[in-house]
């Protein structure tokens, strides 16, 4: 079943890269008591994800925070080393928390997995964005196949402006 507005995010553990190296972080650590702009990409270093999706959220980080977002997080079904390298290559610094869902457990739990086998990529995440308030989905924007519009940072900004 696909997650929907009003649902609480399932418990999950992601991997992040810290000064000490790879470290687990849970959905509670990320979402409890916070408003989070979460977006997912099919793969780090892929064309649309690298040219538009991640840069859009990085470039609009201050705008999103001015509208009440405490944290911006990017999730992908990639390992923590790939997510760390991608974040560095995109110079996100601490503007975007890079979350590795290496085995796709979170992605499966929210029903937004994508079979990218025909592209040689295996199971991945659909492209989406959501605003999560204290662990509960407040806004959810799921892209159609091959699209990039409703999961963009500027679309979310328009939603938050009301």
Q: Determine whether 49 is an active site residue.
A: yes
The DSSP bridge partners found for residue 18 are 21
Query: Per the domain annotation, does 6 fall within a domain?
Result: no
pLDDT, tens digit (0-9, with 9 covering 90-100), for 35-64: 999 999 999 998 888 999 999 999 999 999
Query: Per the domain annotation, does 89 fall within a domain?
Result: yes
0.85 cut: is pTM over it? yes
Which residues, at least 6 apart from 71, have a Cβ–Cβ distance to it below 8 Å? Answer: 30, 34, 35, 36, 37, 97
Query: Per the domain annotation, does 7 fall within a domain?
Result: no
Query: Per the domain annotation, does 4 fall within a domain?
Result: no
Query: Per the domain annotation, does 110 fall within a domain?
Result: yes
Backbone angles phi, psi at 112, to 5 degrees: -120, 35
Which residues, at least 6 apart from 16, have a Cβ–Cβ distance to it below 8 Å? Answer: 22, 23, 24, 25, 80, 83, 97, 98, 99, 100
- Beta strand 35-41 with 71-76 is parallel
Query: Per the domain annotation, does 66 fall within a domain?
Result: yes
Query: Per the domain annotation, does 50 fall within a domain?
Result: yes
The C-alpha angle with vertex 102 and arms to 97 and 106, in degrees rounded to 5, equals 75
The span from the first CA to the last CA of the chain, in angstroms, equals 28
C-beta separation of 134 from 28 below 8 A: no
Domain of residue 76, residue span:
13-161
Query: Per the domain annotation, does 2 fall within a domain?
Result: no
Question: For position 122, which CATH number holds?
Answer: 3.40.30.10
Confidence of residue 131 (pLDDT cuts 50, 70, 90): very high
The domain tally of the chain equals 1
pLDDT, tens digit (0-9, with 9 covering 90-100), for 57-85: 999 999 999 999 999 999 999 999 999 99
Which is catalytic among the residues 36, 41, 49, 114?
A: 49
Full strand arrangement of the beta sheet holding 128-133: 21-26, 13-18, 97-100, 71-76, 35-41, 128-133, 136-142
């Amino acid at each position: 079943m696909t997650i929907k507005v009003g649902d609480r995010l399932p418990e999950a553990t992601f991997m992040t890269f810290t000064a000490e190296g790879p470290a687990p972080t849970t959905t509670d650590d990320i979402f409890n008591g916070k408003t989070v702009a979460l977006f997912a990409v099919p793969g780090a270093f892929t064309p649309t994800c690298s040219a538009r999706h991640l840069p859009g959220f990085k470039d609009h980080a201050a705008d999103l925070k001015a509208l009440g977002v405490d944290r911006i997080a990017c999730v992908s079904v990639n390992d923590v080393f790939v997510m760390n390298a991608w974040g560095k290559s995109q110079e996100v610094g601490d503007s975007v928390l890079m979350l590795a869902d290496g085995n796709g457990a979170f992605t499966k739990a929210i029903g937004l997995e994508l079979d990218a086998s025909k592209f040689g990529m295996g199971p991945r995440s659909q492209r989406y964005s959501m605003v999560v308030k204290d662990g509960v989905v407040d806004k959810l924007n799921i892209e159609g196949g091959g699209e990039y519009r409703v999961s963009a940072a500027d679309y979310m900004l328009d939603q938050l402006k009301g």
